[in-house]
């Protein structure tokens, strides 16, 4: 085998040996972004034809405002919230920043002692980075709550932290389900523990909506982040659901839109499409989750068949069926670099990821895997396969056909390059 060419020669799982055209093939990266639904796209196009600033008082402006408010009501109804609790943003990242910074500053204004921000060690960087920014610029103390080997929050650590430091704690933030390894977090238990001490909780539900039952009111959370492009809506729109009585300072300042905490002209076409996508995702959740769960279990079994030493990260569906997101399968392949695996799969027409798309190209191993106790050298061989509305059994079989050769070449390339002993 010519290992020197292992990262340049195309690999193919296609019977005819052809290389798929760029941008086509098997898409197994729905956690990064998933296609817009036809209904959401139609809503976007329809409202993009109309001119009108939702803050204007003339008829065009009022029509735009009506569209935005109808979408607000739709999102609220689908997610168990009141319309007045829905704050539209330009992304899930913006909503997370508004939650972390806004809640911290709001709580500090009430009590200067409240400097501690409690976040799980496996949060998305859209939560971790604003928390650490506050540590560097606003006197915050960030406490990373540990997780177990499957990526699940240690509730005893949270209880101990709050028992000792509840008077100094500003907020707790924990994701509903992890974007990399798919672990579902004990959100309701987190809220119960925090509420006992009067501490508000923010939940990043970006990956959960459309896959898990998500109800804002029933969860007891004080704020919750949702993103459009993860559930069949457009990129560039999201929402923070926040209780009306939650202390929440503005991060963006200007025209005072969205309860005065998120200034900026509303993107009405995107908001309309977002409303449609949320409504349809929630309505179709049960059937969608059942279908992709079965497909995910097949994918996990096939990967184990063709690469026996592949290690599944996160809860194993065989012993914990509800422990991970329906469409998530995350593996590490010992002896291979994730980036090599990714590029070789891509040349075979199979699109996956090494983890969060927001961290693509970053050479460090995943902070999520390290927090779970995965050794750094092992963590570098990570691949995430995530399924969605367009996924089919044929996608799994194409992956199974291509993967053995891909893993062999990636491991050989690591040996040639001196990356493995």
In whole angstroms, what is the distance from residue 19 CA to residue 90 CA? 37
Question: Which residue from 266, 278, 232, 210 is spatially nearest to 61, judged by alpha carbons?
Answer: 266
State residue 153 phi and psi, 5-degree precision: -60, 140
pLDDT at 46: 97
8 A C-beta contact, residue 176 and residue 187? yes
8 A C-beta contact, residue 272 and residue 44? yes
pLDDT at 419: 47
In whole angstroms, what is the distance from residue 405 CA to residue 201 CA? 46
pLDDT at 3: 36
Residue 145 β-bridge partners: 120
Question: Which residue from 314, 320, 357, 318 is spatially nearest to 332, judged by alpha carbons?
Answer: 314
The three-state secondary structure class of 101 is helix
Question: Which residue from 339, 281, 276, 333 is spatially nearest to 309, judged by alpha carbons?
Answer: 333
pLDDT at 143: 98
Both ends of the chain: CA-CA distance in Å? 19
State residue 398 phi and psi, 5-degree precision: -65, -40
pLDDT at 421: 32
**Tokens 């497909």 sit at which residue?**
295
pLDDT at 113: 97
Q: Could you say which residues of the chain have pLDDT below 70?
A: 1-24, 356-363, 415-421
Query: What domains sit in the chain, N to C, each tagged with a CATH number?
Result: 11-28+285-416 (3.90.1150.10), 38-283 (3.40.640.10)
8 A C-beta contact, residue 146 and residue 159? no
Structure tokens at 2: 């010519």
Q: What is this structure's pTM? A: 0.92
Helix (H) or strand (E) segment spanning residue 281: helix 268-283
In whole angstroms, what is the distance from residue 81 CA to residue 374 CA? 38
> Catalytic amino acids?
358
In whole angstroms, what is the distance from residue 109 CA to residue 83 CA? 26
């Amino acid at each position: 085998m010519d290992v020197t060419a292992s990262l340049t020669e195309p690999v193919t799982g296609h019977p005819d040996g052809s290389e798929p055209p760029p941008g086509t093939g098997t898409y197994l990266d729905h956690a990064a972004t998933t296609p817009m639904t036809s209904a959401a796209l139609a809503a976007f196009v329809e409202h993009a034809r109309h001119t009108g600033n939702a803050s204007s008082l003339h008829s065009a402006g009022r029509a735009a405002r009506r569209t935005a408010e109808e979408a607000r009501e739709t999102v609220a109804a689908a997610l168990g919230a009141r319309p007045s609790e829905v704050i539209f943003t330009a992304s899930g990242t913006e909503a997370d920043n508004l939650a972390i910074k806004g809640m911290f500053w709001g709580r500090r204004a009430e009590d200067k002692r409240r400097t501690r921000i409690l976040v799980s060690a496996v949060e998305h960087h859209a939560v971790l980075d604003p928390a650490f920014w506050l540590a560097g610029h606003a006197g915050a103390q960030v406490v990373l709550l540990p997780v177990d080997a499957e990526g699940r929050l240690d509730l005893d650590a949270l209880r101990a932290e709050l028992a000792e430091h509840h008077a100094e704690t500003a907020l707790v933030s924990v994701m509903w389900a992890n974007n990399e390894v798919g672990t579902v977090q004990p959100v309701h238990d987190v809220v119960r523990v925090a509420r006992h001490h009067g501490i508000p909780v923010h939940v990043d539900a970006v990956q959960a909506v459309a896959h898990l039952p998500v109800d804002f009111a029933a969860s007891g959370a004080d704020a919750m982040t949702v993103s459009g492009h993860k559930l069949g809506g457009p990129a560039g729109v999201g929402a923070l659901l926040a209780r009306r009585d939650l202390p929440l300072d503005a991060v963006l300042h200007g025209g005072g839109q969205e309860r005065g905490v998120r200034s900026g002209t509303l993107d009405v076409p995107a908001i309309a499409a977002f409303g449609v996508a949320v409504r349809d995702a929630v309505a179709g959740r049960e059937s969608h989750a059942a279908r992709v769960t079965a497909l995910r279990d097949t994918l996990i079994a096939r990967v184990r068949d063709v690469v026996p030493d592949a290690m599944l990260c996160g809860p194993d569906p065989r012993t914990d069926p509800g422990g991970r997101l329906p469409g998530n399968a995350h593996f590490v392949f010992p002896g291979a670099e994730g980036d090599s695996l990714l590029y070789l799969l891509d040349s075979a027409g199979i699109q996956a990821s090494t983890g969060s798309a927001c961290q693509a190209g970053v050479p460090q191993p995943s902070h999520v895997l390290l927090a779970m106790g995965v050794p750094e050298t092992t963590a570098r061989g990570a691949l995430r396969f995530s399924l969605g509305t367009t996924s089919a059994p044929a996608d799994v079989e194409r992956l199974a056909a291509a993967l053995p050769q891909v893993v062999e070449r990636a491991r050989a390339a690591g040996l040639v390059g001196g990356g493995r002993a």
